[in-house]
Structure 1
Amino acid sequence: MIKTNNRRNHPREQESFQENTKSNTKSKRKKKQKSKLRENLEAIFLALVIALFIKTFVVDVYKIPTGSMIPTIEVGDFIVAAKFIYGAKIPFTDLRLPAIRDPKRGDIVIFLAPYYEPPNIIIQLLTPIVYTLTLGFVNIDPQPKFYVKRCIGLPGDTVEIIAKEVYINGKKLKGWWPEYHADPEIIPPGDSLMNHRDFFGPVTVPEDCYFMLG
């Protein structure tokens, strides 16, 4: 004879089973939420790393604060610079990546201001991060770090300015050089503070150097 067990589940056992089921469901939800949050944080971190890499070694965006390059570049314009063309500088070192080519006459070049003094290491680390996250609208390093000028003189060239006209190796610069003067008045050479504005040189550009104007 086979004896069957017709014993029904006790109400307490049913309640315990339901509580365990609810607990497991909540636990799975929390794990799923944590997993999703972690994925989002990892995606944000990866995007930030890629953005910083591109900004440091490939291309960067600069906002023009002054009118020295008018009418080619206006005040407030944003320009995109290809860093890899001349070889990007490796941060916190004096080393540079290999360049594709050297600057050519007529290139618009962005370069470090000669008088620029780097801030402390914390500001140096935070500046590109904040600048990238704010799409270039916030710069926590207030110093004018970069100049934006046009390359007119190559190594070995002789540069001279006569009555606002630029001469390279004795020949007047024509074509791509903009015929624009904010002040049409010509200041003759002399002892004034602006005696080099309209008359300058001649000077010979040293090796490994370039003459910028703008």
Structure 2
Amino acid sequence: MGSLTGLLYACLAVYLGGWYLGKWTGNFSLLLFILTLVTLAYWLAERFHFAPARAKAARTLEQQDQARREELASKGIAKVDGDIAPAREALLMQPWWLDWTAGLFPVILIVFLLRSFLFEPFKIPSGSMVPTLLVGDLILVNKYHYGVRLPVINKKIIELNKPERGDVMVFRYPANPSIDYIKRVVGVPGDEVSYRNQRLYLNGQQVETTALPEFYDDDSTRYFKQYSEKLGSVEHNILVDVQRPSYIRPTDPFPYKENCSYSAEGVTCKVPAGHYFMMGDNRDNSEDSRFWGFVPDENIVGKAFFVWMNFGNLRRIGSFH
């Protein structure tokens, strides 16, 4: 069993190493699920086989020692050398391969349950959500806000809240579900969303905005036009790059692409049932639904709501809209 455990850890190290180096795409939810099952198997084996076997061996040692002492006592030898305590402890000691499998099961199970049904950490990888979220922000995602889903397969089993305009949502990128994206919900099923000449329209009405002081972006070392925008009940800030053209070049054909029309001014889309139209707050520097289409309900991961760490700027810690 020790050799088998060593082999399993070697496979895990190779998988994680290749994932880190970009040799292949990893699925952390699936990996955590597999680790939970494997450590559960070791935990059950320890509880019902290995631990009882060690306890039985320790009892046998004690019985043999007691029998030897009784035999010597019957011959008039009262003082007997030999302390079996170290040997007994050695028999009862859990081997390393059970320490690193069965011993980790409770911790891995708790992490799996928390991450699958309550909260999942997520790192902001790009500037598409600036100024709301900055590159390097470590955020928490509420996994149950939009309903309880089975881990790995992401099948919803309990319906709760529907995504609303203005929510910041993490979802699986429709073109490659192994990649998580984060954007803001702009359109819900039935909405007509237009982004023309760097202005957002919902159902024919221009979305209310208020001009704010320009925003300086450290990464691009540029100033951008900044506005306060209100979507539903959520008020948040957005950036507009006046140097970018209004024309949008969509990617390869995507589901319900016939619901969208593109022109030199921008794009207009009708959101189909069970889908959502997502946009980044950094409006002209975001690859979002304007380019690759709608996000189906089954791709939803959860609602982002809190920055729990930014190692470069601790003042970033806190909730956001």
Which residue of 1 is the match for residue 199 of structure 2?
165
Q: Is the 8 A contact 1:187 1:197 kept in 2?
A: no
C-alpha deviation, 1:197, in angstroms: 10
Q: Quick check: which has more Rg, 1 or 2? A: 1
Among 99, 105, 108, the residue aligned to 2:159: 99
Among 63, 71, 76, the residue aligned to 2:123: 63
Q: Which runs of 4+ in 1 moved over 4 A?
A: 37-43
Q: Whose helix proportion is higher, 1 or 2?
A: 2
Residue by residue over 1:117-163, the C-alpha shift from the partner in whole angstroms, topping out at 9 and shown as x without a partner, is 65xxxxxxxxxxxxxxxxxxxxxxxxxx1110000111111111122
User: How large is the RMSD of aligned CA atoms in angstroms?
Assistant: 3.2
User: Which stretches in structure 1 are left out of the alignment for 5+ residues?
Assistant: 1-7, 119-144
Residue by residue over 1:42-67, the C-alpha shift from the partner in whole angstroms, topping out at 9 and shown as x without a partner, is 55310111101111122100111111
Which residue of 1 is the match for residue 90 of structure 2?
30
Identical-residue share of aligned pairs (%): 25
Q: CA 1:60/1:204 → structure 2, altered by over 3 Å: closer, same or farther?
A: same
What is the aligned length? 170
TM-score by length of 1: 0.67
User: Which stretches in structure 2 are left out of the alignment for 5+ residues?
Assistant: 1-74, 209-229, 251-261, 281-321
Q: Which has the higher contact order (CA 8 A, sep 6+)?
A: 2
Residue by residue over 1:22-41, the C-alpha shift from the partner in whole angstroms, topping out at 9 and shown as x without a partner, is 2x111233245439x96896
Among 185, 193, 198, the residue aligned to 1:151: 185
Q: Is the 8 A contact 1:161 1:198 kept in 2?
A: no
Q: Is the 8 A contact 2:131 2:238 kept in 1?
A: no
Q: Whose strand proportion is higher, 1 or 2?
A: 2
Which residue of 2 is the match for residue 187 of structure 1?
245
Amino acid at match of 2:180: F
TM alignment of 1:1-214, pairs within 5 A: 14=79, 17-19=80-82, 22=83, 24-31=84-91, 33-34=93-94, 42=102, 44-93=104-153, 95-116=155-176, 145-174=179-208, 175=230, 176-181=235-240, 183-189=241-247, 193=249, 199-214=265-280
TM-score by length of 2: 0.46
Q: Is the 8 A contact 1:69 1:149 kept in 2?
A: yes
